[in-house]
Structure 1
Amino acid sequence: MGAIALRKIEKWFGDLQVIKGVDLDISDGEFVVFVGPSGCGKSTLLRMIGGLEEISRGQLLIDGKDVTSDPPSRRGLSMVFQSYALYPHMSVRDNMGFSLKTAGAPKSVIDEKVSEASRILKLDDYLDRRPKALSGGQRQRVAIGRSIVRDPTAFLFDEPLSNLDAALRVEMRYEIAKLHQALASTMIYVTHDQVEAMTLADRIVVLEFGTIAQAGTPRELYENPANLFVAQFIGSPAMNVMACTTDGASYRLDGGRGGDFSGDRPAVKLGVRPEHISLGDAGTGQLDGTVDVLEYLGADTFVIIDAGSAGRLTVRLIGDSELKPGSQVGLSFDGPVHFFDADGRAI
């Protein structure tokens, strides 16, 4: 079992409050990702769950038991850090089994658990090597293997892929996703990379200044952001946001035209995803702009458009484009359009 519940969790450093009354339920076997910009409190919250930071106020429950005051060793959790923290003088085998050895486990039990973790992580060919003979991705797998052998209640990952290059990050994302499928264990994962969050999570928790801005599945957050912060943070490229005014059943863009509006209160911002904009002749659609830069990525082309007072917008096109910088275009919104009020709440 690995159900974790946070009840009005707060963290104070003197007079500074960094976690501001977080309530969250994490189900047994769920993969939850904490995501947000630097300084939002995601690593602090993870360390509080792990017992590495004291909880100032509130309760932490693991499988219904209050562990708020328990030390890390009694919580049954295992943590994987950004730093591999492997012993350089030990082999992979000894690194993975070290925690069991210090706990006094029999050698037969250690060998069995190390072998099982090695099989899951495909480390059988590296068990007798030392860390200096491994790549970054292999070292991170060893660090994860060291956690697996303890058979923890839940795994806590604190930005484990930050030290890897782009190709290894993709590979390790796959490895962690497969690991979750194989173990069916509760996993809490911290990252500032929303692509990692979208691809790995059963549920994403977006943190903003120590509070939960929104929690939901990747699809829910992408298609129905609760506020402007989530709308602009989730998605790559980010959602385009423009100033607008509304009047009854219609809206008008600042520096452009408009369309239909059916909100229950006035909107001051309009958001539209890059893939939900099509390009045509100037004078068509919701507003006009000038092609500024084209970013060709093979399967996609990102067209950066200067739309005057509406701002700089990004349009995602499939494949290549014959547009040239300086071209005049009209932008039409042909997908979901999101509206936000003066407080940034979705309408």
Structure 2
Amino acid sequence: MANLSTCNEKYNGLSDVDGNMYFLVGFITYIVFTSFVSIVGNILCAVAILRPTRTVRGRLRKRLPKSRYIFIFNLAITDAMGGLLYPVQFIIGDSVVDVPGLSTGITSSLTILAIAAERFNKIVLEKTYQNSRSERMRSIGCCVILWSLPFVCLISIYTYDPDLHKFVFFFVGPVCVIFVMFSIAFLYTSIILTIRLHEQNKIHKFGSRKFNKMKLVLRAYGVILLVYVVCWLLWAVESIRICITRYLTVSITEERCLEGTTLLYVALGLGLMNSAINPVIYWKTLPDIRWGIRQIYYVFLEGMFGKCCKLENGSSDVAACTNSTTSHPATIGSSTL
């Protein structure tokens, strides 16, 4: 296998980022800030999804979220993990976090695809499960596969040749991203056509209230997927271009060079912004997560100051506020999670 860790004279210095200290310092600062926002925001959303629910009698009851939120939880964890690992990769360079970092990125893309597939099964195929717990366990099992499969494959590749992780980054990863983009475009086109052509049948089957809630969730997921495409498409295209021009078209007898360009770093920064934007999308488009975050905020205030700000019903006591939320359409007690 040709060595990827060094560049021959033909390609040496092709990275226009080398020596540009202002750009590198600015980029690293941006990555650290974006990663911090991503970690805090996604962990907050993950906790909001897994928060205990309060019954009508005021007792706390833990339960698994519905399948669609299981995938959102998985996406939030991958984004938070990426925010933790990516700065280390950029600042330190080649290190032990290369495999976990690449694996986390691929898992995040596959989770995006799983979200679209879950909506496709629900709306187009009308696939339902008699036992909701069985549906949740299937979703959890799918998430376990999404984490383990890329990690095992990358560990095997890294064990065979440590330099191959660069090829994965510049070619396999971008190809995976583009595949996910085309797949979710097909799935969501099918979903939208199904809703438009068979809206009355769907309303009759699911009921008006449940069908409107499905459309609300569908719009929210559509925003998540659209932002994913906008943020990562440029990086995927530029990475494949670099791999083709500096690796695949170079004679096997020569040393091949895979080095990033300024455009690649800018595109990568745009892609990493996706992880920081996702929690904002969850907050704006998913009422259940928004209400869960509010509950966490009020509990935090109670722990810090022994009181909380007044809620919509005018109560200033956190316990009373929480108990009274059972009548709210998006509250803990009636949450659709």
Q: TM-score, normalised by structure 2?
A: 0.24
Higher strand share: 1
Q: TM-score, normalised by structure 1?
A: 0.23
Higher helix share: 2
**Highest CA radius of gyration, 1 or 2?**
1
